[in-house]
Each structure stands twice: as structure tokens, then as C-alpha cells.
Structure 1
Amino acid sequence: MADEIHTTRNPDGTTHTTTVVDREPRRGGGLGMAIIALVALAVAVFVAFQFLGNEQAETGAITEAAQKVGDAAQDVGNAAQDAVNND
């Protein structure tokens, strides 16, 4: 680290001192960005699995409802067949 001190003397005799401090550039920014990227990826994966879970639950509910409608239609058909055979 190299410091520079500059002194300026004004015509009236006053002085002004300026100090310039030369510091090394900061390192480690890549680690911070990697942590942020990892957190963002984890959030994206969590949201994706939540969405897929909701889709599977919805598909299961629709399939179950369709099966019940099919079973009810079968029962109506059987009842109609019984009614025709009993006449």
C-alpha cells in the first residue's frame, strides 16, 4: 500500500495537505455472487417442485372424478338393463 501526501502552499502562506491512499482492490466478490446464485437456484427448484406437486394433485382429482362418473354411468346402464329384463 503506497500513500502519497501532497502539500499545496497558497500565496497568502496557508497550506493545504491532501493524502492519497492506494489500496489493493477487494477480492472475494465471486464467492458472494456464487452464494447468491446458489440461493436463487434453490428457490427456483423449490417453486418448480411446488408447481409440479399441484399439477399432480389436480390431475389425480380429475382422474378420480372421471372414474366416479364412469362408475355411475355403468350403474345407470345396469339399472336400465334390469328394468328392461323385468318387464
Structure 2
Amino acid sequence: MADAEGFAAMGVVETLVHLHDLAGGLGLEWTPPEDLCDRVLWRLFPDAPIGTGRRETLLWATGRGDLPGHERLTGWRWDANPR
């Protein structure tokens, strides 16, 4: 069960990754803002690697990209439990 902060973070993740998907489908270059990626990784993906690019890590954590040194995810799930 998510609290208000977790629910908001889920909405941000959906917006960021689907904008990334949409831009790619249209052949446009767009990358999610680094600071938002960092915040939602902290909130929803507590086991995500640190010391990596936050954009790349968010895309990796949602099964959308590769992250050097980490196996590509074929399934993923966020943790919206209150922190």
C-alpha cells in the first residue's frame, strides 16, 4: 500500500518512462531529468544500484535499458511501501 508520496512517485515514473518510450517511437531524443530519476529511484526502487547514472538506472529498473555491470531486467516491480 502506498502513501501519498509513493503514489506521486509512481505517477512520476509512469510519466518519465512513457515519455521516453514515446520519444523513441517518434525518433526524437529525450532523456528524463536526472534529479527526478534520482528521487523516484530512492522512493520506489530501494535496491537499485547507486553510483550509476540515474537516468540509465531508472530505465534499467523499469526494464527499458541496459546498465553496465548489471543483468538486463526482464521483469520489474516498484516498492511503494511507506519509507
**TM-score of the alignment, normalized to the shorter chain, above 0.5:** no
More strand by share: 1
Which one has a bigger Cα radius of gyration? Answer: 1
Highest RCO, 1 vs 2 (Cα 8 Å, sep ≥ 6) = 2
TM-score calculated relative to the size of structure 1:
0.28
Higher helix share: 1
Q: Please report the TM-score for the alignment, with normalisation by the length of structure 2.
A: 0.30
